[in-house]
Structure 1
Amino acid sequence: MSLPNYLKAEQAVLASVFLDNKIMNEVNDKLLVTDFFDSRHRFIYTAMLDLYNDNQSIDYASVFSRLEQAKTTGKAGGIEYIMEVSEHLYTTSNLDSHINLVLDASLKREMIEVASEITKKGYQDDISAKDYIDESEAAVFKISQKRKTSEFSKLGQIVTEVREILETRSKNKGEVSGLKTGFSNLDKITNGLQPEELIILAARPSMGKSAFALNIALNVAKKNRSGKAGVAIFSLEMSNDQLASRMIANQADVPGNKLKSGFLDSNDWASLTSSEQILKNLNIFFDDSAAVTISDVRAKCRKLKQEDNLEIVIIDYLQLIKPARGQSNRQEQVAEISRGLKQMARELKVPVIALSQLSRSVETRDDKKPVLADLRESGSIEQDADIVLFLYREDYYVHDESKKTGDVELSVAKNRQGQSGITLHYKFEPSFSRFIVKEHFEPSGE
């Protein structure tokens, strides 16, 4: 059985170039030499590319000359076949269809080759089942993404698209372009959480970063894609039950200590029943595996993405992700993890929020508000992150309950696509694991 191919389409593409040299611009953008199945066509196309790159005219005589120089005339079918191809058709109107057929067959052949390699690797003893599955999924996903790879766009086309976006925004003033977090001041700064971004949310222990991340998860699931947005939460420190209990307390307005003690009255049960129905309809997926690697996270998220159930990934927390193997020190391990998270965000085209611990050096200062240097192994994390947020709660250092205010500061230490050096203000209700915007924010220039 022959491998997938469309020989007539390959001939038509080459003939189109012979017919109109200007078409080579488009063909060169879309087709590689390896996309041609017939070896004769590969040699002819290689000669065409050489002439194109040298700004030379492409006709059967010049192509034949290049083939002679490379001593590949016979491999290209000889002068008779080159002339046959050059006279193959009399119009270029169906060029796009012919290119698409060539690409379609090329992708099928690549998939067959990858599948063959996957099969061979499966017989090897030096690879674990987990690594084998992850590498296999990655290889297949890479091919599937090729159809979605964007091409160069002309400025005029982009300007038209931007104009349409601006008109839509003008009609829907205040709407954000990314995922809505449910926090209006944060959405103003970020214009919503954007695809491919790595967002670091960092704080010292007990500042409320897990609760804040769960608030974002709940809000994203409820406020995007008409309540059908997919949220993946990897909690390496808390169990699924603990996470769900926090969300129930938040949604039902029932204090967490009541859920723990079981002292619930009839009103509490009514609120819980109502909230249960809301939460059951949300696409929030938990994974509380105690020890996971980046490969584990990526494989699970890739599956959700393929099922159209992934808009955002939340990881609590970065330093608990298990390194792969081979790194000699913690800095290298964290560098691998943060780089892996950024690559995953780009591959899956979703924002990734990774919680991070701050170093103990914060506690030795009089001013305990965090700065970028306080990030553990901060070099790689700071470099890979698009946004770095610090959560600070003065109440943590206040021991007199009567003097606690519930005030929380969220400082935007880094924002690659917008304003930074800004502090946002919230109220934290620990009983309900809930954050409330205290002060609205208007970015400069609005």
Structure 2
Amino acid sequence: MAKSLPHHHESEQSVLGTIFLDSKQISSVIDQLNNEDFFEQSHALIYQAMKDLYLDNKKIDYTSVASKLEQNQNLQKAGGMKYLYALSETVPSVNHLETYIDLVKDESLKRQVIALAGSILEEGYQGELDANEYMSKAEESIFALAQKRKTSAFTFLSEVIHEVKDKMEKNRDKKGGITGLRTGFSNLDNITAGLQPEELVILAARPSMGKSAMAMNLALNVAKRNKDGQAGVAIFSLEMSNDQLAGRMLSSESNIESMKVKTGHLTPREWQFLEGGMQSLAKLNIAFDDSAAVTVADIRAKCRKLSQEGKLDFVVIDYLQLIKGDSRSGNRQEEVAKISRGLKQMARELKVPVLALSQLSRDVEKREDKRPVLADLRESGSIEQDADIVMFLYRKDYYERDEKNLTGEVDLSIAKNRQGVAGVSLHFMFDTAFSRFTAQADRFDEQQDKD
């Protein structure tokens, strides 16, 4: 016995019948239902005729709808005049229109999922894509359908201000006015109030400025200083291997030079420090992924799994331009635009801050003043548009040829800050031997404590 696709015949009739009884309701229905949401062809034809009349500012009644159907030679396909009259007789109550609409939408969504599943099945049989591409495309299609159906009605100010008040009450007792994740750098926390949920943060710099080291410092600090040391951090490294990143963290945590960690040439005392650093790091909830060819869909799927397990509070991606894009895109700029938009959508879906590292254009090197500006973001202006915060690292001594003039001073400029102050520079010291950044304000406080 053939299975019938999901549909709710009576609800479709009730929606159309309600419009006949109260034609003003068409404006509410048009905002929520498309022709495709009606399973019965006759109902879709009648609904289209009603929409045409509404858009032409003409009255909707049995005669006008029948006339419109007749013009397109669809009156008999729609059931004839007798069926139009019968529609209003099937309506239990015009006050329940929203319920009828919801029932029609629900069955329509089921049909769309079934159609999508069939399309995914057919594509799998064709065998033109490899397994990873096939899975990514399937996931993207399902996610796009889910997002499409999440469109909601307006939320009124009276409701939103109560949500704002609830957040204020939750944040009231938090120390130092930090409402997001603590970064371990007081100067950065003061500007951002911590890394906020749903934010896309871009950290950009020219090569060898220390952006990967800064990202690892932030990841380590977030894991340590939030949720009593149990904050979940996911690190996607498309450039460096897991053991290279962990080596940097171990160097910083155990206070052993990075080169010694690489070579293993340690004194007995340094081996003790190393063991202590390992024990400290082992307690943290940091997950690594160094897959070379990874898409936004891959990242989102892995993060979603961690989120479902309650192990995700912060995501770090090193770096954005190495994420595999859609080969069907017309050019690289369009590809990067889709990637940055995908990362922003992921941050909103998972309600966590996402830090993505980015390259800068080589044009920086051609200028006398080599401090980065927003226009230097490589390959796409959409990165600037999608990001909530854009930060640039700049080391003046990188351009010094005399080692005696190396100071280790680094400027972190906040070029964009959607929720706060922008156009400011924060000052850090970068100890390259230990891959460690220290905010100058924090460094001064530490020195005072020692004195």
- Distance in 2, matches of 1:11 and 1:176, equals 55
Equivalence for 2:297: 298
Deviation by residue 1:21-74 (Cα, 9 ceiling, x = unmatched):
444343332222211212222122223333443455544444334333443222
CA contact (8 A) 2:373 2:415 kept: yes
Which is further off, 20-29 or 105-114?
Answer: 20-29
- Distance in 2, matches of 1:378 and 1:84, equals 57
CA contact (8 A) 2:205 2:393 kept: yes
- Measured after TM superposition, the shift of residue 165 of structure 1 is 4.3
- Distance in 1, matches of 2:223 and 2:186, equals 16
Change (3 A) 1:235 1:53: same
CA contact (8 A) 1:16 1:89 kept: yes
- Measured after TM superposition, the shift of residue 75 of structure 1 is 2.1
1:339 has 2:341 as partner = no
CA contact (8 A) 1:338 1:384 kept: no
1:268 has 2:267 as partner = no
Q: What are the residue-to-residue correspondences of 1:283-362 with 2, within 5 Å?
A: 284-290=286-292, 292=293, 296-305=295-304, 308=307, 312-321=314-323, 325=327, 332-333=331-332, 335-350=333-348, 351-359=353-361, 362=364
CA contact (8 A) 1:249 1:432 kept: yes
| Structure 2 runs not aligned, ≥5 long | 443-451
- Matching residue's letter, 2:109: L
Structure 1-normalised TM-score? 0.80
Which is further off, 78-87 or 426-435?
Answer: 426-435
Which is further off, 413-422 or 70-79?
Answer: 413-422
- Measured after TM superposition, the shift of residue 345 of structure 1 is 2.1
- Helix, strand or coil for the counterpart of 1:349? helix
| Structure 1 runs not aligned, ≥5 long | 441-446
- Measured after TM superposition, the shift of residue 230 of structure 1 is 4.8
Equivalence for 1:444: none
Equivalence for 1:217: 219
Q: What are the residue-to-residue correspondences of 1:25-424 with 2, within 5 Å?
A: 25-166=27-168, 175=177, 179-193=181-195, 197-222=199-224, 230-252=232-254, 255-260=257-262, 261=264, 263=266, 265=269, 267-268=272-273, 271-272=276-277, 274-279=279-284, 282=285, 284-290=286-292, 292=293, 296-305=295-304, 308=307, 312-321=314-323, 325=327, 332-333=331-332, 335-350=333-348, 351-359=353-361, 362=364, 367-377=369-379, 381-382=383-384, 385-397=387-399, 404-424=406-426
CA contact (8 A) 1:393 1:409 kept: yes
1:14 has 2:13 as partner = no
- Helix, strand or coil for the counterpart of 1:30? coil
- Helix, strand or coil for the counterpart of 1:369? coil
Q: CA RMSD in A?
A: 3.6
- Matching residue's letter, 2:276: S
- Measured after TM superposition, the shift of residue 301 of structure 1 is 1.9
- Matching residue's letter, 1:413: A
Q: What are the residue-to-residue correspondences of 1:407-446 with 2, within 5 Å?
A: 407-439=409-441
- Distance in 2, matches of 1:172 and 1:194, equals 14
- Helix, strand or coil for the counterpart of 2:208? coil
Deviation by residue 1:124-156 (Cα, 9 ceiling, x = unmatched):
254333332221111111123344333333444
- Measured after TM superposition, the shift of residue 363 of structure 1 is 5.1
Change (3 A) 1:364 1:89: closer
Change (3 A) 1:192 1:396: same
Change (3 A) 1:150 1:432: farther
- Matching residue's letter, 2:298: A
- Matching residue's letter, 2:347: K
Change (3 A) 1:121 1:20: same
CA contact (8 A) 1:19 1:86 kept: yes
CA contact (8 A) 2:341 2:386 kept: no
- Measured after TM superposition, the shift of residue 3 of structure 1 is 0.7
Change (3 A) 1:322 1:118: closer
Deviation by residue 1:274-294 (Cα, 9 ceiling, x = unmatched):
414422xx1x3322233x25x
| Identity between Structure 1 and Structure 2 (%) | 50
- Matching residue's letter, 1:240: N
- Measured after TM superposition, the shift of residue 391 of structure 1 is 0.7
Change (3 A) 1:168 1:327: closer
- Helix, strand or coil for the counterpart of 2:112? helix
- Distance in 1, matches of 2:307 and 2:120, equals 25
- Distance in 2, matches of 1:104 and 1:222, equals 45
CA contact (8 A) 2:254 2:274 kept: no
- Helix, strand or coil for the counterpart of 2:357? strand
Change (3 A) 1:269 1:418: closer
CA contact (8 A) 1:197 1:345 kept: no
- Measured after TM superposition, the shift of residue 311 of structure 1 is 5.0
Change (3 A) 1:114 1:151: same
CA contact (8 A) 1:248 1:275 kept: no
- Helix, strand or coil for the counterpart of 1:412? strand
- Distance in 2, matches of 1:22 and 1:164, equals 38
Deviation by residue 1:223-257 (Cα, 9 ceiling, x = unmatched):
56776655432222211011122233444555545
- Distance in 1, matches of 2:179 and 2:315, equals 18
Which is further off, 196-205 or 135-144?
Answer: 196-205
Change (3 A) 1:377 1:32: closer
Instruction: Work out the number of aligned pairs and report it.
Output: 430
- Distance in 2, matches of 1:22 and 1:176, equals 50
